[in-house]
Amino acid sequence: CRLWNNITNKRMYLTGGIGSSGHLERFTADYDLPNDRMYCESCASIGLMMFGQRMAALTADARYYDVVELALCNTVLGGIALEGDRYFYVNPLEVWPDNCLPSTSMAHVKPVRQRWFATACCPANIARTLASLGQYIFAQDQASIYINQFISSKLTTQVGRTKVSVAIHSDLTKNGKVQTVLSLEGEDAVTLRLRIPTYLENPQFTLNGKTLEPKLERGYAGIVLTAGDGQLLEISGQITPVWVAANSNIRADAGRVALKYGPYVYCLEQVDNGERLANLYVSPTAPVTVCPAQKGLPETLPTLRFSGQFLDSGVGEDLYGAPAFRLEERELTAVPYGLWCNRTPGEMLVWLKARI
């Protein structure tokens, strides 16, 4: 538990990535979390998912699956292209392609996914993890079934003397709703334990049209089910975009904010916002509009839009000069970090400078 807490509270990136040093692919000091030259290997996030799954099995505490979901939806999904044929080994939070040069301290950072690697652990590990995703969605003990991720899926299992089938249809990121159809055949009651994500606001539950107020224990809502075919459990709530700041000890993120929508961290790409993303500023109270997905990206994940400013130094073509700063208003577009670089390659940025 101490090891888990140190990783997730002092050494983990907003995306669920871990490993801040490209040299020896390792942790360094608490709060040392650079955004442009870190390692954050795809395999490391998969290892964190495995760690969280085992901690949850030992403790029946849903908070471990909060981190599992974070890593899955951001760093792990970001490690593979939509077409499934190119991969990231390293998962940075800021990319300027021009300085990702061979034989430099940035050589490990790739601005585009690669077809393969000399040490090819990440492609196979990502494929294996996605193929075995069911183990992160469902779990069970002698009397209960746990739903740890609201991902559309099906399960048939035996709990005690009762055969259980579960079918999840999730529209969580579209409208905050999840429908689960349950059929139980047998003598024993079964408790369904649903992980309630911290980002789901005002969750409400109905079973066959009747309102429920389940008891919440260690992040799980417990609902006792008895025999019956086609029982409909519905969960509804709201998911809204939120601005996030970092602990003041994280020097790389001082005075910066990032944007999240549910478990998804969002980023800006050059293809939507132009070059020199590092010059952008945004108010941490800027309203965010949820819009349809960008063309070429999955329709299930929205685009987020908000107003910001571009800061020009006024120096012109000289390398240095007298400051003549001016702010230009910009309409900015953010897409899920796990989907970056699936269109036109270019700059990418997660943490934006805050304008107070």
Q: Which of 1, 121, 122, 291 is catalytic?
A: 121
Backbone torsions φ then ψ of 81, nearest 5 degrees: -70, 160
- Give, in degrees to the nearest 5, the angle at Cα 91 between 250 and 82: 140
| CB burial string 137-152: b at 16+ within 10 A, e below | bbbeeeebbbbbbbbe
- Residue 25: active-site member: yes
Question: What does the block give as tokens for 93?
Answer: 């939070």
- Give, in degrees to the nearest 5, the angle at Cα 240 between 238 and 245: 140
Neighbours of 243 (CB within 10 A): 17
Question: What does the block give as tokens for 39?
Answer: 């390692």
Contact 72, 50 (CB under 8 A): no
Length of the chain equals 356
Q: Which of 1, 25, 213, 331 is catalytic?
A: 25
Q: What is the amino acid identity at position 149?
A: Q
Question: What does the block give as tokens for 129?
Answer: 């993890």
Q: Which residues contact 157 (CB under 8 A, 6 or more apart)?
A: 138, 140, 145, 163, 164
Say which DSSP state 301 is in. S
Can you give the C-alpha Rg of the chain in angstroms?
A: 22
User: What is the distance between the alpha carbons of residues 234 and 5, in angstroms, rounded to a whole number?
Assistant: 33
Beta bridge partners of 177: 171, 236
Q: Active-site residues: which are they?
A: 25, 121
